[in-house]
Structure 1
Amino acid sequence: MHTAVLTGQGMAFPPAMDQQALWDDVFTRRYSGNRTARRIFLGCGVSTRHGAVDPRTEDVSAWTTGARMRRYVTAAHPLGREAVVGALTDAGLHPADVGLFVVVSCTGYATPGLDITLATELGMPASTQRLLIGHMGCYAALPALSTATDYVRTRGRPAVVLCIELPSLHVQPFAPGAENDVEQIVAHALFGDAACALVLEPDVSGGLEVIDTEAVTDPSSASLMTWTVTDHGFRMSLSAKVPDRLALHVEKTTEELLGRHGLGVEDIAGWAIHPGGPRIVSVVAEKLGLRADQTAATHEILDIRGNCSSATVPLVLQLIRRKGQLRPGDPVVAMAFGPGLTLWNVLLKAR
């Protein structure tokens, strides 16, 4: 059995948008100056984020889902290409080396998809295996990473995972009463666009070796977080009860994963926690007893990128790697949450 080691990462973003300017120029009018909306919008821990669609210059809220999907294809392709090329370059590999190409997205679809068009354009072999993971939501990068790990371990060939999300395409129509729809206020305030790619290689020194995974799904909480296809894009439902429900599972799931390897929370050198929102991060930190410096990378990504759905945890992981503070043997935990409700953990080790 081979080892699977994360050796390269690449990222790409559409233009940046200032959170204060988005509120001042667009959303204060659409939410009729509602004080609760303003507090949520400007207090969600985001100062800048990125958008393939900037609502200050282009209003897509009345667009059909078909029109949004057409924009997804044209916007996602160059971002995905940039992220994959960056990850392969970071790992010192070429497209011809890729044995498995996994594409993750819950914000847009087309067939032939990015897994086919990017593989062809970049020059991946016709024999490259492809996998498209769609509509799993914010935690999808981690099951994708786990699947790619299994491939690398058994086949002994490199794999690439691309997470690309364009939630800016899914601004919802503003019907009467929208100024009091807290769930939509949160969705419009929190999410940003991003592409992030990861390269896994077999049996190499350096990088982060993927050690193990642990997941739990609470079906009784399924209605608390949804991502529904409508005639006007995809509509997010995000209940305020989500943090408290996740709190029931964080400690046990993490301890089970770490316990199999003789580790405790105190042994973890890096925490790549999905920034689902400030309260979610606070609840995780409280349940696991994490210090502010241990969640700093998560808050930094939330601040400068927003919640980029499946691309976010890879961005946090990349930030932790680039800080250069990990020593060989240091354990790292990547943690994400999403519909289901689902919590997914991955244990990695610096090499």
Structure 2
Amino acid sequence: MVTLCKPAVSVPEYVITMEETLDLARSRHAGHPQLPLALRLIANTGVNQRHLVRPIEETLEHPGFQERNEVYEAEAKARVPAVVKEALANAGLAPADIDMIVYVSCTGFMMPSLTAWMINTMGFPSHTRQMPIAQLGCAAGGAAVNRAHDFCTAYPDANVLIVACEFCSLCYQPTDLGVGSLLSNGLFGDAVASAVVRGRGGTGIALERNDSHLVPDTEDWIAYSVRATGFHFLLDKRVPGTMEPLAPALRTLAGRHGWDAGDLDFYIIHAGGPRILDDLSHYLEVPPESFRFSRSTLTEYGNIASAVVLDAVRRLFDEGGLREGARGILAGFGPGITAEMCLGRWTTGDTAPAPSLDTRRIVGYTPHPTPVRTVA
């Protein structure tokens, strides 16, 4: 039984409130012809506050793509380890028990990936698989869970660590003045999240089925334009209406599993904005309260990209979990337009520590033979 255990989530110490965001928009874009529309859209996001990896004064400056990316790398290395250690403790595992690390992020670039640095510095075995995912945006949180599910299904003794590191504020572009860009400036926040998917044992969501769905001809609805100044986020005005084509994909996935997507016990949904959740409530015919975990993430942290679904799962745990066997769906949405979806049941399975490396099978690993030396 493949189980998504309790995630760990950390947000940076610098905070900007909704009122401060609106005041900044008014002062910096006083002559913008569509400022009233942008202010109204930002206010309607329901985001009370967001956390930033740098003080707002530094965030509003643009020292160049190189320096921005250097900040991304330094902050990732400073903030990821504590979150990973908490996630491992939540799952009752140690670094030596991990067979693959899935690292997702769309707000900075490193090669080698941060996974290599983690293996070298945090005690993960040198044979740990690395799966960095950089171009699925907000959908990557769901994709990480699904790829971990796939791996643990193929290798039932395996354990997978997921890390989502998103510093959206480092993508702020002061010269992007379209309404979509102004809205994004008031919507996205920074966070680091991590969770373990165990191949055996663990308390959490026992993953049963996953799927992906791409809405045709929507590649330009959510995109990056990569320029000398870095990543420029492009958000089409049609994006808020994406639940009309995506809700049927959720129903199809559930139906293939013999479930009704409108009659489940929990919903972990990427909170790109309030309309996403409102429309999904309408199309699936479920009460708005069903999306309370996602709404809480949006209200307290803003849209934290790939980390949203992990934070929403954490909130489910913090509420006390669910009865054994309670059914639910997890879904992340992002560029493409892409949906990464999975179904699972709540389980309070055994959380006994995994076998030590000298007794458990290391999935797919063949030790390199030790050279035999001969003495002439």
TM-score (norm 1): 0.93
Task: Name the counterpart of 2:179.
Answer: 182
Specify whether residues 4 and 88 from structure 1 end up closer, same or farther in structure 2 by C-alpha distance, changes over 3 A only: same
- Give 1:152-231 correspondences, 5 Å limit: 152-155=152-155, 156-174=157-175, 178=177, 181-231=178-228
Task: Name the counterpart of 2:249.
Answer: 253
Residue 140 of structure 1 aligns to a residue whose secondary structure is helix
Task: Name the counterpart of 2:278.
Answer: 282
- Give 1:75-224 correspondences, 5 Å limit: 75-155=75-155, 156-174=157-175, 178=177, 181-224=178-221
Gaps of 5+ in 1: none
Higher helix share: 1
1:321 aligns with 2:304: no
AA matched with 2:211:
E
C-alpha deviation, 1:344, in angstroms: 2.1
- Give the Cα separation in 2 of the matches to 1:8 and 1:98: 16
1:350 aligns with 2:346: yes
Residue 145 of structure 1 aligns to a residue whose secondary structure is helix
Q: Sequence identity of aligned pairs in percent? A: 27
Q: Is the 8 A contact 1:76 1:164 kept in 2?
A: yes
Task: Name the counterpart of 1:307.
Answer: 303
- Give the Cα separation in 2 of the matches to 1:171 and 1:206: 38
Q: Is the 8 A contact 1:191 1:309 kept in 2?
A: yes
AA matched with 1:22:
E
Q: Is the 8 A contact 1:23 1:38 kept in 2?
A: no
Specify whether residues 86 and 244 from structure 1 end up closer, same or farther in structure 2 by C-alpha distance, changes over 3 A only: same
1:240 aligns with 2:241: no
Task: Name the counterpart of 2:21.
Answer: 23
AA matched with 1:211:
E
- Give the Cα separation in 2 of the matches to 1:219 and 1:80: 35
AA matched with 1:6:
L
- Give the Cα separation in 2 of the matches to 1:40 and 1:31: 15
Q: Is the 8 A contact 1:107 1:165 kept in 2?
A: yes
The structure with the larger Rg is 2
- Give the Cα separation in 1 of the matches to 2:111 and 2:40: 41
Task: Name the counterpart of 2:356.
Answer: none
AA matched with 2:164:
C
Q: Is the 8 A contact 2:270 2:333 kept in 1?
A: yes
- Give the Cα separation in 1 of the matches to 2:240 and 2:49: 23
- Give the Cα separation in 2 of the matches to 1:253 and 1:24: 36
AA matched with 1:223:
D
Specify whether residues 189 and 154 from structure 1 end up closer, same or farther in structure 2 by C-alpha distance, changes over 3 A only: same
AA matched with 1:220:
D
**After alignment, is 259-268 or 292-301 more displaced?**
259-268
- Give the Cα separation in 2 of the matches to 1:86 and 1:318: 12
- Give the Cα separation in 2 of the matches to 1:61 and 1:129: 38
AA matched with 2:278:
S
Q: Is the 8 A contact 2:189 2:302 kept in 1?
A: yes
Deviations 1:259-289 (A, max 9, x none): 1222113431111111111112111111111
Specify whether residues 204 and 11 from structure 1 end up closer, same or farther in structure 2 by C-alpha distance, changes over 3 A only: same
Gaps of 5+ in 2: 348-376
- Give the Cα separation in 1 of the matches to 2:309 and 2:82: 18
Q: Is the 8 A contact 2:331 2:342 kept in 1?
A: yes
Q: Is the 8 A contact 2:5 2:196 kept in 1?
A: yes
Task: Name the counterpart of 1:333.
Answer: 329
Deviations 1:170-196 (A, max 9, x none): 111236xx2xx2101111010000111
- Give the Cα separation in 2 of the matches to 1:18 and 1:70: 23
AA matched with 2:39:
R
Deviations 1:43-96 (A, max 9, x none): 2110111111232x2145433211111010011122211221110011111111
TM-score (norm 2): 0.87
1:73 aligns with 2:73: yes
